[in-house]
């Protein structure tokens, strides 16, 4: 056999592989798809993965370069994960090399060894005890000794934070000769651990009904009779199940997740949990750590590259029982996959909006298929896509309609503000309602989907409006510190003192954002603290934590905030939720506008009235008779979902058709447009192919905000009744686009299943 040629996937925007000669001195049988190699590329070295082995190349033999190093002895990813990446790259029409780069931890991309560090085990020194005089005045150290005494075999380093210990404390104990660390290779840590740190709650009848559907399907146990090393996942089939767990906020979805995971762990399998954001909802993560004594690894943005790699390896090698992370965690390999959970499955943060534009929820469903496991998609406000999948029989619908622990659902009410004066966006009846709730010692939450002081700065004499110089957008007025801020390109400038058109000095901020509402409420409600929670007040991590702590202390207060408040928080003392402006969603140009508005209002409302305090939700609107608002307030999210699904079906919009959006931007409007015109012509020609005539091309048109950050933007929408026809066309089209001479002069991207049409 002649020397093999390696087809290497490199992190390049090009949708192709690169051919190299095999590294010298490595026998062909030691080369496999999925191993990493280091190769010369241009003037530098790059790390890529072997994606194929062939014997011929179109590159002439004398031009073919040689792989400089074979990094791995075995593929760095398990086979299923490799397939997942392959599928992702094809589905989203993104280069395989770049897809793999998105999936792998940074250090692996740089060529670091994909092996675990020697684990460190912390143990008590014999004779150490909690009442030891050396720790008499150090409660943390005392507590650390207590915790370690519960672990006679020692506690591995990966687990210490789960048990509330810090490395600092342990090192202090080490200096005092009360604790010691020993190195241990991972294979000796197999002594069976107890699974739980705390007992599960007794499931209520709805939770029990959901669990009765889920648990029996979670696949056979992997633990062998001797209880020794779990076997690798057997190639059984038929355990793929998808459940849509629709449960109102506070109904105890998390408890269903926890007990499903427990079952999965009892079978010797691992669970992967996706959540929208970790920084905003530390208490959710804490509940997972509190429940299990097996390692729960959390992939959050605060990890160093090395910690991230360690967590990844712990998952891949089966050390970690539970892996929790945001969007990109869906690419974490698991040795013994058993269950995937996607919490708040409707959340937009699962969709990546640049580079590899994937939707982690959809990738998760495919992954569950591939690995033949169960998947639970949970939400109080499921996406129409998932509800449609329930109707088509693809997902099983499980419902939790009652709040756990007897809490009653909030009462909704629209507040008609037509011709009522508003101050800082707040009507008088709303202010009175707030006062009433505060007087009873309760808390109030005010939701405005807009940060800053005011969305517009206007000249009172001539009507001039402060606009961004780089976008077709208005500047938002911010007050602390005072400046104008474009929320689209992030450019900032000083607040104008004088109108540039007429010279008037009477410039007024128009409308209200969180800052203005905060200022106004602080002046009107001087007896209670007003806490503002938005991106501007929470740039420091501790700031959010401190505010949450104040809220949880239960004192009467007003929270003013953006959708940051809508996510996952439990505010048991909030009894009034005020939504300042619901009308935006009713007029949205995006066909998903009503769905989003209903989700947001329902999610924000869900923060109110937990435990024993019934909640009230007041929605300020100019459109109190709008059928959408009536449905939402009287019949709830499910009614909106039904109505919207019918509307989407009638107009053949997703989920009743499939979309891809080709976007282009350039320094001149004509250039972006020309590229799209020519791309459109190419696609027109492809429609001659059998079966592709039904693909529709809509556009190109200028984007709704045509100029952003100084560039002109346009878009072309591709729509098909069948997913397969859409993909067939894309598959033929993308290589043509890539070779188009204009492709290098404009910035362009393809978005499959776009969630944001702008």
Partner whose footprint covers residue 464, from Zn ion, ligand ADP, none (CB < 5 to 8 Å by kind) = Zn ion
Partner whose footprint covers residue 413, from Zn ion, ligand ADP, none (CB < 5 to 8 Å by kind) = none
Q: Are 718 and 661 in contact (CB under 8 A)?
A: yes
Q: Are 381 and 245 in contact (CB under 8 A)?
A: no
Q: Are 613 and 577 in contact (CB under 8 A)?
A: no
Cα 374 → chain centroid: 20
Task: Build a one-symbol-per-residue string for 236-255: x at contacts with ligand ADP by CB under 6 A, - elsewhere.
Answer: -----------x-xxxxxxx
For Zn ion, the closer of residues 308 and 708 by Cβ is 708
For Zn ion, the closer of residues 384 and 486 by Cβ is 486
Stretch that binds Zn ion, among 7-15, 38-46, 484-492, 654-662 (CB under 5 A): 484-492
What is the residue-wise DSSP string for 268-303?
A: T-EEEEE-S-STT-HHHHHHHHHHBSS-EEEE-TTS
For Zn ion, the closer of residues 489 and 624 by Cβ is 489
Element (H, E) at 259: helix 253-266
Smallest distance from Zn ion to CB 513, Å: 16
Stretch that binds Zn ion, among 119-127, 237-245, 464-472, 691-699 (CB under 5 A): 464-472
Q: Compute, in degrees rounded to 10, the torsion defined by CA atoms 670, 676, 679, 681.
A: -80
Q: How far apart are CA 249 and CA 404, in angstroms?
A: 9
What is the residue-wise DSSP string for 321-358?
A: SEEEESGGGGG---SSEEEEEEETTT-GGGB--SSS--
Q: How far apart are CA 574 and CA 580, in angstroms?
A: 16
For Zn ion, the closer of residues 365 and 499 by Cβ is 499
501 in contact with Zn ion (CB under 5 A): yes
468 in contact with Zn ion (CB under 5 A): yes
Count of residues that bind ligand ADP according to CB under 6 A: 15
Measured between alpha carbons, how far apart are the two ends of the chain, in Å? 53
Partner whose footprint covers residue 682, from Zn ion, ligand ADP, none (CB < 5 to 8 Å by kind) = none
Count of residues that bind Zn ion according to CB under 5 A: 14
567 in contact with ligand ADP (CB under 6 A): no
Candidates 369, 411, 470, 727; binder of Zn ion (CB under 5 A) is: 470
Smallest distance from Zn ion to CB 587, Å: 22
Q: Is the link from the previous residue into 330 a cis peptide, with omega within 30 of 0? A: no
489 in contact with Zn ion (CB under 5 A): yes
488 in contact with Zn ion (CB under 5 A): yes
For Zn ion, the closer of residues 26 and 489 by Cβ is 489
Q: How far apart are CA 155 and CA 163, in angstroms?
A: 9
207 in contact with ligand ADP (CB under 6 A): yes
Smallest distance from ligand ADP to CB 571, Å: 12
Residue 737 corresponds to which tokens in the numbers above?
Answer: 């686009």
For ligand ADP, the closer of residues 259 and 332 by Cβ is 259
156 in contact with ligand ADP (CB under 6 A): no
CA distances from 285 to 275, 502, 528 (A): 9, 56, 31
201 in contact with ligand ADP (CB under 6 A): yes
599 in contact with ligand ADP (CB under 6 A): no
Q: Which of 206, 197, 192 is nearest to 262 (CA)?
A: 197
Stretch that binds Zn ion, among 327-335, 425-433, 481-489, 688-696 (CB under 5 A): 481-489
Smallest distance from ligand ADP to CB 254, Å: 3
- List strands edge to edge, sheet with 5-9: 18-21, 5-9, 44-54, 36-41, 69-70
Partner whose footprint covers residue 207, from Zn ion, ligand ADP, none (CB < 5 to 8 Å by kind) = ligand ADP
Task: Build a one-symbol-per-residue string for 379-408: x at contacts with ligand ADP by CB under 6 A, - elsewhere.
Answer: -------------------------xx---
Cα 396 → chain centroid: 23
Backbone angles phi, psi at 228, to 5 degrees: -85, -140
Interacting residues with ligand ADP (CB under 6 A):
201-204, 207, 247, 249-255, 404-405
Interacting residues with Zn ion (CB under 5 A):
459, 461-462, 464, 468, 470-471, 486, 488-489, 499, 501-502, 504
């Amino acid at each position: 056999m002649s020397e093999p040629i390696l087809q290497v996937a490199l992190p390049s925007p090009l949708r192709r592989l690169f051919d190299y000669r095999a590294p010298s001195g490595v026998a062909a049988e030691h080369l496999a798809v999925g191993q990493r190699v280091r190769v010369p590329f241009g003037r530098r070295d790059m790390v890529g993965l072997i994606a194929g082995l062939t014997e011929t190349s179109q590159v002439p033999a004398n031009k073919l370069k040689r792989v400089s190093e074979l990094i791995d002895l075995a593929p760095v990813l398990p086979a299923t994960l490799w397939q997942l990446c392959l599928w992702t790259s094809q589905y989203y029409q993104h280069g395989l090399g770049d897809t793999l780069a998105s999936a792998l931890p940074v250090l692996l991309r740089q060529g670091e060894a994909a092996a675990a560090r020697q684990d460190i085990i912390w143990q008590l020194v014999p004779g150490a005890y909690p009442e030891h005089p050396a720790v008499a005045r150090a409660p943390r150290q005392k507590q650390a000794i207590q915790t370690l005494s519960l672990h006679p075999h020692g506690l591995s380093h990966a687990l210490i934070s789960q048990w509330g210990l810090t490395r600092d404390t342990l090192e202090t104990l080490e200096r005092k000769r009360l604790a010691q660390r020993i190195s241990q290779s991972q294979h000796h840590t197999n002594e069976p651990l107890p699974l739980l740190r705390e007992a599960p709650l007794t499931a209520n009848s709805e939770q029990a009904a959901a669990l009765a559907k889920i648990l029996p399907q979670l696949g056979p146990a992997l633990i062998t009779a001797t209880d020794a090393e779990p076997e690798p996942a057997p190639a059984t089939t038929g355990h793929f199940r998808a459940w849509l767990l629709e449960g109102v906020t506070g109904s105890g979805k998390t408890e269903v997740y926890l007990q499903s995971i427990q079952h999965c762990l009892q079978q010797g399998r691992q669970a992967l949990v996706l959540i929208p954001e970790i920084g905003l909802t530390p208490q959710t993560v804490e509940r997972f750590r509190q429940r299990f004594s097996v390692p729960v690894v959390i992939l959050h943005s605060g990890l160093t590259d090395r910690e991230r790699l360690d967590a990844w390896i712990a998952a891949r090698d089966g050390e970690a029982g539970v892996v929790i992370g945001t969007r990109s965690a869906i690419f974490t390999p698991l040795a013994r996959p058993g269950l995937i959970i996607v919490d708040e499955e409707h959340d937009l943060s699962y969709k990546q909006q640049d580079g590899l534009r994937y939707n982690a929820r959809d990738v998760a469903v495919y992954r569950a298929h591939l690995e033949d496991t169960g998947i639970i998609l949970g939400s109080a406000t499921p996406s129409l896509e998932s509800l449609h999948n329930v109707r088509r029989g693809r997902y099983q619908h499980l419902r939790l309609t009652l709040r756990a622990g007897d809490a009653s659902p909030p009462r909704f009410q629209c507040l008609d503000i037509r011709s009522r004066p508003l101050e800082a966006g707040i009507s008088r009846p709303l202010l009175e309602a707030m006062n009433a709730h505060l007087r009873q010692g309760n808390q109030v939450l005010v939701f405005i989907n807009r940060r800053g002081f005011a969305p517009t700065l206007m000249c009172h004499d001539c009507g001039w409006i402060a606009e961004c110089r780089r976008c077709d957008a208005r500047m938002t007025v911010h007050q602390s510190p005072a400046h104008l801020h474009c929320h689209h390109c992030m450019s900032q400038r000083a607040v104008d003192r004088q109108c540039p058109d007429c010279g008037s000095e009477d410039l007024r901020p128009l409308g209200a954002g969180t800052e203005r509402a905060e200022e106004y409420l602080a002046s009107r409600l001087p007896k209670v603290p007003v806490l503002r929670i938005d991106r501007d007040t929470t740039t420091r991590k501790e700031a959010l934590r401190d505010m949450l702590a104040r809220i949880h202390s239960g004192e009467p207060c007003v929270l003013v905030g953006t959708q940051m408040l809508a996510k996952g928080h439990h505010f048991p003392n909030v009894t009034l939720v005020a939504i300042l402006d619901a009308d935006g969603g009713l007029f949205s140009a995006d066909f998903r506008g009503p769905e989003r508005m209903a989700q947001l209002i329902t999610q924000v409302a869900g923060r109110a009235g937990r435990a024993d305090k019934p909640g009230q939700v007041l929605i300020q609107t100019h459109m109190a008779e709008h059928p959408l608002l009536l449905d939402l307030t009287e019949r709830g999210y499910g009614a909106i979902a039904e109505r919207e699904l019918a509307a989407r079906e009638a107009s053949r919009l997703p989920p009743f058709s499939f979309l891809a959006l080709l976007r282009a931007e350039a320094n001149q409007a004509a250039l972006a447009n020309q590229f799209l015109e020519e791309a459109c012509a190419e696609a027109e020609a492809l429609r001659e192919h059998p079966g592709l005539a039904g693909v529709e091309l809509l556009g190109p048109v200028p984007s709704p905000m045509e100029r952003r950050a100084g560039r002109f933007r346009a878009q072309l929408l591709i729509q098909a009744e069948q997913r397969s026809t859409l993909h067939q066309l894309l598959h033929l089209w993308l290589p043509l686009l890539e070779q188009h001479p204009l492709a290098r002069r404009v910035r362009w991207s393809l978005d499959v299943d776009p969630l944001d049409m702008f």
